[in-house]
Amino acid sequence: MTHYSPLVDTYPQYPFEIVSGNGMHVTDAEGNIYLDLYGGHAVCGIGHSHPHLVAAIYEQAQKLFFYSNLTRLSIRTRAAEELLKFANSHLASVFFCNSGAEANENALRIALQLTHRTQIASLYGSFHGRST
């Protein structure tokens, strides 16, 4: 496993490049096909290149790919409503995050607020999100 790019060397990299994915498989630059039992750190394992997902992303990207939460976005509101419906819980709102670090930080803030506590416990050397 060698460093072969100008990217920061966060983790040791395997000596092959994944160039495409379809369903539960990924293909490397040499044409080898792998069953994707990994996909990435802290990602949603939904497979690769599903036609419905590709079409939905394409359709939305033609309108607006991203905008800050400083304004209302009907697609973001619909996503939150669907998530709450799927969760079938008593929760009334959703907070979307860009990363696991943000999710952990906000989960801790909510837990502290709801429990009226001021301290938390963590495990030394454990991964709690990539932030400082």
Which tens digit of pLDDT belongs to each residue from 101-125?
888 889 999 999 999 999 988 877 7
pLDDT at 47: 85
Q: How far apart are CA 49 and CA 11, in angstroms?
A: 26
- Give the long-range contacts of residues 41-45, CB within 8 A, separation 24 or more: 41/100, 42/100
- Amino acid in position 83: L
Asked if residue 51 is part of any domain, the answer here is yes
Asked if residue 87 is part of any domain, the answer here is no
Q: How far apart are CA 82 and CA 76, in angstroms?
A: 10
Asked if residue 25 is part of any domain, the answer here is yes
Q: How far apart are CA 49 and CA 55, in angstroms?
A: 10
- Low-confidence residues of the chain, pLDDT below 70? 1-4, 42-43, 127-132
Range of the domain at 11: 1-65
- How would you classify the pairing of strands 33-35 and 25-28? antiparallel
Tokens of 35: 């069953």
